[in-house]
Structure 1
Amino acid sequence: MKKVCVITTVHHAYDGRIYHKQCKSLAKNGYSVDLIAPEPDDREEQSPIRLIPIEKPKSKLKRIVNTLKVIKLARKTKADLYHFHDPELLMVGVILRLITRKPVIFDVHEHYPNAIMSKPYLSKRLKPIIRSGYEMMEKLSLSILSGVIYTTTEIGERYKKYKSCKIENYPLKTMFTQSISEQSKDPNQLIYLGGMTPIRGVKELVGAFALVVKDKPTAKLTFVGFFESSSFESEIKAIIKKLEIEDHIEFKGRVPYEEIENYLSHSAIGIIPYLPVPNHLVCLPNKLFEYMASGTAVVASDFPHYREVVEQSRGGIVVDPTNVQNMAKEVTRLLSDPDQLKEIQKNAQKAFNSTYNWEKEEKKLLTFYNEVLSS
Structure 2
Amino acid sequence: MLVDNGVNGDSRVQKEARSAAEAGWDVVLLGRSPDKKEHTWQIGDAQVRLVRVPAPLRRRRHEYRRAILRAPLAYKPGPLAAYRKQKVKAWRADLSIRLVLARRSGGLGALRLLPARLAARLLSRWVGLRHRQTRRLDERRKAMTSPLDRFTTAFWQRTMGDRAWRRLDPGLWDYELAFGKEIDALKPDVIHANDFRMLGVGARAKLRASAKGRTIPLVWDAHEFLPGLKPWDPHPRWHVAQCAHEKEYARHADAVTTVSETLATMLAERHGLSEQPAVVLNAPDGEISPEQAAEPVPDLREQCGIGPDVPLSVYSGAAAPQRGLDIMVESLPRLEGLHVAFVVLRPNSDYMRSLRTRAEELGVSDRVHILPYVPHYQVVPFLSSADIGVIPIHHWPNHEIALITKYFEYSHARLPLVVSDVKTMGDMTVKTGQGEVFEAENVDAYVRAVEAVLKDPKKYRDVYETSGLLEQWTWEHQAAELDAVYTKLVTGSSRGER
- Place the TM-score, normalised by the shorter chain, in its bin: 0.7 to 0.9
Partners of 2:439 and 2:283 lie apart in 1 by 24
Amino acid across the alignment from 1:334: V
Tell me whether 1:347 sits opposite 2:444 in the alignment: no
Q: Partner residue of 1:90?
A: 199
Alpha carbons of 1:108 and 1:264: their partners in 2 closer, same or farther (altered >3 Å)?
same
Unaligned runs of 5+ in 1: 1-5, 178-182
Alpha carbons of 1:315 and 1:236: their partners in 2 closer, same or farther (altered >3 Å)?
same
Q: Partner residue of 1:75?
A: 184
SS class of match (2:387): strand
**Which of the residues 203, 206, 216 maps onto 2:326?**
203
Tell me whether 1:165 sits opposite 2:256 in the alignment: no
Map 1:179-328 → 2, pairs under 5 A: 186=309, 188-213=311-336, 217=337, 219-227=338-346, 230-328=349-447
Deviation at 1:22, TM superposition (A): 1.3
Deviation at 1:194, TM superposition (A): 0.8
Tell me whether 1:15 sits opposite 2:10 in the alignment: yes
Unaligned runs of 5+ in 2: 60-170, 211-215, 294-299, 302-307, 493-498
Alpha carbons of 1:89 and 1:315: their partners in 2 closer, same or farther (altered >3 Å)?
same
Q: What TM-score, normalized to structure 1?
A: 0.84
Deviation at 1:311, TM superposition (A): 2.6
**Which of the residues 20, 26, 29 maps onto 1:32?**
26
Amino acid across the alignment from 1:196: A
Alpha carbons of 1:53 and 1:133: their partners in 2 closer, same or farther (altered >3 Å)?
closer
Alpha carbons of 1:150 and 1:139: their partners in 2 closer, same or farther (altered >3 Å)?
same
Q: Which moved more, 1:73-82 or 1:168-177?
A: 168-177
Q: Is the 8 A contact 1:295 1:349 kept in 2?
A: no
Amino acid across the alignment from 1:17: R
Tell me whether 1:54 sits opposite 2:51 in the alignment: yes
SS class of match (1:171): coil
Tell me whether 1:110 sits opposite 2:224 in the alignment: yes
- Taking only the aligned residue pairs, the percentage that are identical comes to 21
**Which of the residues 203, 206, 231 maps onto 1:119?**
231
Partners of 2:475 and 2:17 lie apart in 1 by 12
For residues 23-55 of structure 1, give each alpha carbon's deviation from its aligned partner in whole angstroms, at most 9, with x where no partner exists: 122111111111112348997567301122213
Q: Is the 8 A contact 2:200 2:246 kept in 1?
A: no
Amino acid across the alignment from 2:2: I
Partners of 1:277 and 1:44 lie apart in 2 by 36
Q: Is the 8 A contact 1:212 1:329 kept in 2?
A: no
Deviation at 1:296, TM superposition (A): 0.9
Q: Partner residue of 1:100?
A: 209
Amino acid across the alignment from 1:264: L
Alpha carbons of 1:122 and 1:65: their partners in 2 closer, same or farther (altered >3 Å)?
closer
Amino acid across the alignment from 1:343: K
Q: Partner residue of 1:372?
A: 489
Amino acid across the alignment from 2:192: H
Amino acid across the alignment from 1:356: W
Partners of 1:40 and 1:326 lie apart in 2 by 41
Alpha carbons of 1:82 and 1:228: their partners in 2 closer, same or farther (altered >3 Å)?
farther
Alpha carbons of 1:132 and 1:51: their partners in 2 closer, same or farther (altered >3 Å)?
closer
Q: Partner residue of 1:153?
A: 261
For residues 243-265 of structure 1, give each alpha carbon's deviation from its aligned partner in whole angstroms, at most 9, with x where no partner exists: 11111111112322233234312
Partners of 1:168 and 1:307 lie apart in 2 by 17
Deviation at 1:191, TM superposition (A): 0.6
Alpha carbons of 1:314 and 1:43: their partners in 2 closer, same or farther (altered >3 Å)?
farther
Partners of 1:156 and 1:45 lie apart in 2 by 31
SS class of match (1:242): helix
Deviation at 1:209, TM superposition (A): 2.9
Deviation at 1:69, TM superposition (A): 2.2
Deviation at 1:131, TM superposition (A): 4.8
For residues 265-312 of structure 1, give each alpha carbon's deviation from its aligned partner in whole angstroms, at most 9, with x where no partner exists: 211110000011222112322101100001111111112211232133
Q: Partner residue of 1:180?
A: none
Higher-strand-fraction structure: 1
Q: Partner residue of 1:142?
A: 250
Aligned residues: 351
Aligned residues: CA RMSD: 2.9
SS class of match (2:311): strand
Partners of 1:105 and 1:173 lie apart in 2 by 25
Q: Is the 8 A contact 2:40 2:47 kept in 1?
A: no
Alpha carbons of 1:158 and 1:228: their partners in 2 closer, same or farther (altered >3 Å)?
farther
Alpha carbons of 1:193 and 1:13: their partners in 2 closer, same or farther (altered >3 Å)?
closer
Q: Which moved more, 1:363-372 or 1:195-204?
A: 363-372
Q: Is the 8 A contact 2:6 2:33 kept in 1?
A: no
Amino acid across the alignment from 1:52: R
Partners of 2:54 and 2:356 lie apart in 1 by 29
For residues 319-374 of structure 1, give each alpha carbon's deviation from its aligned partner in whole angstroms, at most 9, with x where no partner exists: 1121101101220222123xxx1231232365653322222222211111122223
